[in-house]
Structure 1
Amino acid sequence: MTSSAGAQTPGGAQAGGKPRTLAGRCGSANWVCAAQCIDVTCVDRCLVEGCEKALGALGQCAARSGCGPDDSACVARVCGKQCERTFEPAPPSPEKELPDPCADASMGAGAVPKKVVGRWLLEAASLLPDEKPRVEGLESQDAKPRPDYGRSLVVTPGGCFLMRTKLEDATLGRGNALEIRSWGAFQVNEKDDSVELRTKSGQAVGPVCGKPRVIGLSKGKFQPTSYKYDVEGDTLTLTAKTPSLQTFQFRRQTTEQAE
Structure 2
Amino acid sequence: MRPFRLLVLLLVSGFSLPAAAQAPRTVAGVCGRTNWVCVSECIDAECVDQCMREGCEDALKRLKACTSKAACAPDDSACAAKSCGLTCEKSFEPAPKSPEKLVTHPCEGDKAPKGTAVPKELVGTWVLSAASIPDTEDGKEERIDVQPRSDYARSLQVTPDGCFVMRTKLDDATLGRGSTLDVRAWGRLEASEAKDKKHLALRTQDGQAVGPVCGKPRVVPLSKGRFKGGEFTYVIEEKDSLILTVPGPTRQTFQFEREKQEAPEPPPKP
State if a TM-score over 0.5 links the two structures: yes
1:58 is aligned, of 56, 63, 68, to 63
Q: Identity of counterpart residues, as a percentage?
A: 54
Q: Which one-letter code corresponds to 2:156 in the other structure?
A: L
User: How far apart in 2 are the matches of 1:178 and 1:195?
Assistant: 27
Residue number in structure 2 paired with 1:5: 20
- Structure 1 alignment gaps of length 5 or more: 12-20, 132-138
Residue number in structure 1 paired with 2:115: 109
Q: Is 1:76 paired with 2:93?
A: no
CA spacing shift, 1:69–1:219, aligned 2, 3 Å = closer
SS at match of 2:53: helix
Residue number in structure 2 paired with 1:134: none
Residue number in structure 1 paired with 2:180: 177
Check conservation: 2:118, 2:162, Cα contact below 8 A: yes
CA spacing shift, 1:221–1:104, aligned 2, 3 Å = farther
- Structure 2 alignment gaps of length 5 or more: 1-15, 264-270
Residue number in structure 1 paired with 2:39: 34
Residue number in structure 2 paired with 1:188: 191
Check conservation: 2:126, 2:259, Cα contact below 8 A: yes
2:153 is aligned, of 150, 153, 171, to 150
User: How far apart in 1 are the matches of 2:95 and 2:29?
Assistant: 13
User: How far apart in 2 are the matches of 1:252 and 1:93?
Assistant: 38
Check conservation: 1:199, 1:223, Cα contact below 8 A: yes
SS at match of 2:80: helix
> Over residues 42-96 of structure 1, what are the superposed CA-to-partner deviations in whole Å (9 max), with x where a residue is unaligned?
0000000220000000000000013334322011111000000000024676101
Q: How does 1:174-253 map to 2 (within 5 A)?
A: 174-191=177-194, 192-233=197-238, 234-253=240-259
Q: Which one-letter code corresponds to 1:250 in the other structure?
A: F
CA spacing shift, 1:222–1:104, aligned 2, 3 Å = farther
Aligned length in residues: 240
Higher helix share: 1
Q: TM-score by structure 2 length?
A: 0.83
SS at match of 1:179: strand
Q: Which one-letter code corresponds to 2:80 in the other structure?
A: V
> Over residues 104-151 of structure 1, what are the superposed CA-to-partner deviations in whole Å (9 max), with x where a residue is unaligned?
4551212111111111000011113149xxxxxxx9358585111100
Q: TM-score by structure 1 length?
A: 0.87
Check conservation: 2:133, 2:143, Cα contact below 8 A: no
SS at match of 1:201: strand
Q: Which has the larger radius of gyration?
A: 2
CA spacing shift, 1:68–1:5, aligned 2, 3 Å = closer
Check conservation: 1:5, 1:225, Cα contact below 8 A: no
1:89 is aligned, of 86, 94, 103, to 94
Q: Is 1:118 paired with 2:132?
A: no
User: How far apart in 1 are the matches of 2:169 and 2:97?
Assistant: 20
